[in-house]
Amino acid sequence: MGILSSALTSGSTHKRKLRNIGYYHGYKGYRFIKRPNQKIPYTDFNQVLSVNAFDMELKALFYPQIMFIETAIKNYVLEIVLKHGKTDSFDTIFDTLLTNYKIHRVGSNDYRKALNKRLQLKNKFYGTLARNYSSNKQVVQHFYHQDRHVPIWAIFEVISLGEFGNFVSCLDTNIKRDISKSLKLNQAFDGDAKMTENIIFLIKDLRNSIAHNDVIFDTRFQSGKPKQSLIRALESDTGISNITFKTILDYLILFIFIQKQLYISKTELNRIVNKFETAINHFRTQIPIFVYHKIFHTDTKNKINSLKTFIKS
């Protein structure tokens, strides 16, 4: 079997399953928690398969929620932007609303960084439009073929979540504050009006990992440190303590919180939480308990119960 051989595999069934999940993409990725030096001491290849199956189950549970949240936040942002800009022209919006750089002293490092971010955003937006035109994206071609500008709502259809987060980041502070209020975010913890973009960037890492079928069960996808203001707001609003985003459960808490703010029914939110709880309870029986506790902390059950209480409130 060459690279597919493993001390844990035995027989043709294991070798076939190893080939299915992939030695490098699957097996090597599931041998550790967060970092390669934190090896999982598996004793049976079925345990590897259980981690893989659990990871896939999480992706199937989270992806529809992320898609819903991404679409909803884009719509809320679009509504506020159109209200302030009184136009759907990206060029006009860029000139009049993407002015967050002005809060910094002219010529300072922060000013240059913010202005450079704004300029790069414009280049990326037009680069995205060019790629989508070349790939026959109808929503883009329609406007270009009529010699019209592509409206901001159509641009939102084709940009990545990261580019969208940068767009929100570049908006004038007063506009960002209106977005935050429209999403019913806790204003006591959003003094700088950056909570919306913080949420977007936090979700972006997980979204991209799921889209590329990367490992997510241990939150290794996280590229930046979650903002303490967002964590304090979540803990205050949900009544759940010790939110750190070092465990995938905390991402579920964030998703449930946002969806409740967006008026998703209690029945649906409970269904999501119950499905997650069933998945981790089954997972707990498939691997050694000390490995489970490296992935899910001892306060997991209390957090889930508190999340259910939050849904009822």
Q: For residue range 261-306, list pLDDT tens digits in order.
A: 999 999 999 999 999 999 999 999 999 999 999 999 999 999 999 9
Contacts of 97 (CB under 8 A, 6+ apart): 81, 84, 85, 171, 172, 175
Confidence of residue 30 (pLDDT cuts 50, 70, 90): confident
What is the distance between the alpha carbons of residues 115 and 121, in angstroms, rounded to a whole number? 10
**Residues 101, 77: Cα–Cα separation, whole Å:** 19
% of the chain at pLDDT higher than 90: 76
pLDDT of residue 1: 39
Q: Is the pLDDT score of 198 beyond 60?
A: yes
User: In whole angstroms, what is the distance from residue 10 CA to residue 19 CA?
Assistant: 13
Residue 169 has pLDDT above 70, yes or no: yes
110-136 pLDDT tens trace:
999 999 999 999 999 999 999 988 888
pLDDT band at 138 (very low <50, low <70, confident <90, very high): confident
SS3 annotation, 129-195: HHHHHHCCCHHHHHHHHCCCCCEHHHHHHHCCHHHHHHHHHHCCHHHHHHHHHHCCCCHHHCCCCCH
Indicate whether 42 belongs to any domain.
no
Average per-residue pLDDT in the chain?
91
Would residue 28 count as lying in a domain?
Answer: no
Query: In the predicted model, is pLDDT for residue 251 greater than 70?
Result: yes
Q: Contact, 196 vs 168, CB < 8 A?
A: yes
Count of domains in the chain? 1
For residue 6, tell me if it sits in a domain: no
Give yes or no for residue 175 having a pLDDT over 80.
yes
Paired tokens of 33: 């928690």
Phi, psi of 216 (to 5 degrees): -125, -15
* Residue 234 CB contacts under 8 Å (≥ 6 apart), including other chains: 240, 243, 253, 254, 257
- Identify the pLDDT of residue 5: 43
Is 5 among the domain residues?
A: no
| Domain membership flag for residue 38 | no
Contact present, 257 and 299 (Cβ < 8 Å): no
> Which residues on adjacent β-strands are paired with residue 67?
none
Asked if pLDDT for residue 29 goes beyond 90, the answer is no
pLDDT at 3: 39
Residue 82 lies in domain:
48-312
Does any domain span residue 33? Answer: no
The end-to-end CA distance of the chain, in Å, is: 56
**Highest mean pLDDT range out of 141-145, 164-168, 286-290?**
164-168
Average pLDDT over residues 221-235: 95
Q: Residue 55: what pLDDT?
A: 95
Select, from the ranges 20-29, 41-50, 143-152, 243-252, the one with the highest average predicted confidence (pLDDT): 243-252
Q: What distance in Å separates the CA atoms of residue 200 and residue 209, rounded to the nearest whole number?
A: 14
Domain presence at residue 34: no
Helices (H) and strands (E) in the chain, counts: 14, 0
Domain membership of residue 3 (yes or no) is no
Q: What is the pLDDT of residue 2?
A: 40
